[in-house]
Amino acid sequence: MLPFFGGTFLPDLREGHLILHVSAIPGTSLDESLRIGKLITDALRTVPGVRSVAQHAGRAEAGVDTVGPHSSEFEVDLQPGLSGENQQLAEERMRAVLANFPGITFSIRTYLTERIEETVSGFTAPVVVNIHGPHLDSLENAARDVARELGEVPGAIDVQQQSPPGMPQVNVTLRPTDLQRWGLNAVEVLELIRTAYRGDVVGQAYEGNVVFNVIVTLDVRARARLSQIGDMPIRTPSGTYILLKQIADVYKTSGRYHVLHRDAQRVQTVTANVSGRDLESFVADARKKIASEVELPPGAHVEFTGAAEAQARSRRDLLVSSLLAATGIVLLLALVTGHWRNLALVLINLPFAFVGGVFAVALTGGLLSLGSMVGFVTLFGITLRNSILMMSHYEHLVVFEDRAWGLETAIQGAADRLIPILMTSLVTGLGLLPLALGVGEPGREIEGPMAIAILGGLSTSMALNLLILPTLALRYARFEINQPDGRRERAVAS
385-397: b (≥16 Cβ within 10 Å) or e: ebbebbbbbbbeb
Domain 125-166+256-304, CATH? 3.30.70.1320
> In this predicted structure, what is the pLDDT of residue 486?
45
> In this predicted structure, what is the pLDDT of residue 299?
83
Query: How far is the C-alpha of 92 from the C-alpha of 276, rounded, in Å?
Result: 12
Same fold, 1-124 and 169-251: no
> In this predicted structure, what is the pLDDT of residue 9?
36
The architecture that CATH gives domain 169-251 is 2-Layer Sandwich (3.30)
> In this predicted structure, what is the pLDDT of residue 100?
84
Q: Does CATH place domain 311-491 in 2.60.40.4070?
A: no
> In this predicted structure, what is the pLDDT of residue 6?
35
Per-residue pLDDT 10s for the chain (494 aa) are 333 333 333 344 445 678 887 877 776 778 888 888 889 989 988 888 888 888 887 766 666 666 777 788 888 888 877 776 777 788 888 888 888 888 787 878 777 777 776 666 667 778 888 888 888 888 888 888 888 888 888 888 888 887 777 677 788 889 999 999 898 989 989 998 888 888 888 889 998 888 988 988 888 777 777 778 888 888 888 888 899 889 999 888 877 767 777 777 788 888 888 887 777 788 888 888 888 888 888 888 888 887 777 777 877 888 888 889 888 888 888 887 777 888 888 888 788 888 888 888 888 776 777 778 888 888 888 888 888 888 888 888 888 888 888 888 888 888 888 888 888 888 888 888 888 877 766 667 678 888 888 888 888 888 888 888 888 888 887 776 655 544 445 555 54
**pTM > 0.85: yes or no:** no
CA-CA-CA-CA torsion sign (53, 59, 63, 64) = positive
> In this predicted structure, what is the pLDDT of residue 166?
67
> In this predicted structure, what is the pLDDT of residue 90?
84
459-490: b (≥16 Cβ within 10 Å) or e: bbbbebbbeebbebbbeebbbebeeeeeeeee
The residue ranges of every structural domain in the chain are 1-124, 125-166+256-304, 169-251, 311-491
Residue 260 sits at φ, ψ, to 5 deg, of -85, 145
What's the N-to-C CA distance of the chain in angstroms?
80
Domain 1-124, CATH? 3.30.70.1320
